[in-house]
Structure 1
């Protein structure tokens, strides 16, 4: 079924697991992500940035997500990731996205609340879930760079006010992860996450999931993380696999022969991540 973020995060909360949220950069990645979720019998969140959605087309993204969910019998959420432009957010919602993230994390606290609340009120009329962000995650996301001196952790007291005033369905937290980190692993502040979990009763989200150590995944899930974003690992491996295929094949070989190995790699990574996020040692 084609479902909302709120629905799948309730399942995650009930089962003490996280739902994988995987960034797609084209239409081709989407079936591979859904096939991996089907094998693991779990819901899945397919994410796109505004850049990807504009490139592919909002309505095209929605049509493929709905078709894949029906064909494979998988609960699929289509989520707009790190959106700052209210015009683009409305476009996604009207096109049929089932979830959006308003990223006001770089704004002053009150402005973040007001902007997020505006999105929640608009999305409510369409039955669309909303994720907000408080604190600043470092690294690079869709061309936007946040330096380490701009990073600050989510404040638990601010989180209480933010959740209450905005009415969001999920909260992205800054606990030491970084967007775009794949050559090294991050050091997570578990103590900060524990304080946030104690302060708010809402599903929490990790961004920059590629840089999280596998041994730390279970720990953060036990501390309330219910949505786990993975983007960079997919993108890097897609590009490496595609580059190898294009270099190996002649110019007149069908393009699908260059794409299929990359898709296999995407499916493999997504399935492995979902296994981790299930928190199966309970």
Structure 2
């Protein structure tokens, strides 16, 4: 079933678990992500950046997600991640994406509210879910870097006003995670997350999930995290395996011999993450 973010996060909330949101960086990764979710019997959120969507083609991504959802009986959400440009968001919605994120986190609160409301108004006409971000997550996402001195934790009082004014379906929070972090692990501000959970009644989202310690995953899920973003770990896993394969094989070997091992790596990572996100004792 081709689903929306709102639908799968409602189920996650009822079951006190998180749904994995995995960034596909090319077309080949997409089936491996969905097959892993099928194996683990969970919904899955396939994410693309605007750059990846334009590279692969929005309608190509929509068609494959819908086709694989039908073929495998999977519950698949196709989500546009970290879009700052309204026209890019409209392009994704018009092509058939079931979920979008407007990232106005670098804007003043009032401008973030205004921009988010505009996206929500357009998305709701097509039954598309909307995620937004409040506060500033550090690190690098799709080539855009945020310095540590620019990181701002999500303010709980602002979160209440933001959710009330915008009508979003999910809120990405800044609680210490960083985009692109994979060589070290982050220290999460659990107290701040609890303060947000206590006053906001919609699903919360972790960005920079690669850098979260495995032992912290259950803690943040118990504190309201329902969507867990993973992108860097997939990219690093693919690139390392790809380099090893291309270094080992001759130039005239079928490219499948270089790509299939990378797909196996992606499927293994996604399966392992989903097991964590199920939050089973």
TM-score range, shorter chain: over 0.9
Shift of 1:86: 0.5
Helix, strand or coil: the match of 1:80?
Answer: strand
Helix, strand or coil: the match of 2:123?
Answer: helix
Matched residues in 1 for 2:116 and 2:150: separation? 21
Helix, strand or coil: the match of 1:54?
Answer: helix
Helix, strand or coil: the match of 1:227?
Answer: strand
Shift of 1:68: 1.1
Residues 206-248 of structure 1 deviation map (CA, whole Å, 9 limit, x = unaligned): 0000000000000000000000000000000100000110111
Matched residues in 2 for 1:71 and 1:257: separation? 25
Counterpart in the other structure of 2:60: 60
Shift of 1:256: 1.2
Matched residues in 2 for 1:68 and 1:192: separation? 39
Residues 175-215 of structure 1 deviation map (CA, whole Å, 9 limit, x = unaligned): 00000000000000000000000010000000000000000
Counterpart in the other structure of 1:148: 148
Shift of 1:116: 0.3
Superposed, which structure 2 residues align to 1:1-282 within 5 Å? 1-281=1-281
After TM superposition, where is structure 1 displaced by more than 4 Å over at least 4 residues in a row?
none
Matched residues in 2 for 1:70 and 1:34: separation? 11
Matched residues in 2 for 1:64 and 1:254: separation? 24
Structure 1 length-normalised TM: 0.99
The aligned length equals: 281
Helix, strand or coil: the match of 1:168?
Answer: coil
Residues 140-174 of structure 1 deviation map (CA, whole Å, 9 limit, x = unaligned): 00000000000010000000000000000000000
Structure 2 length-normalised TM: 1.00
Structure 2: 5+ residue stretches without partners: none
Q: CA RMSD in A?
A: 0.4
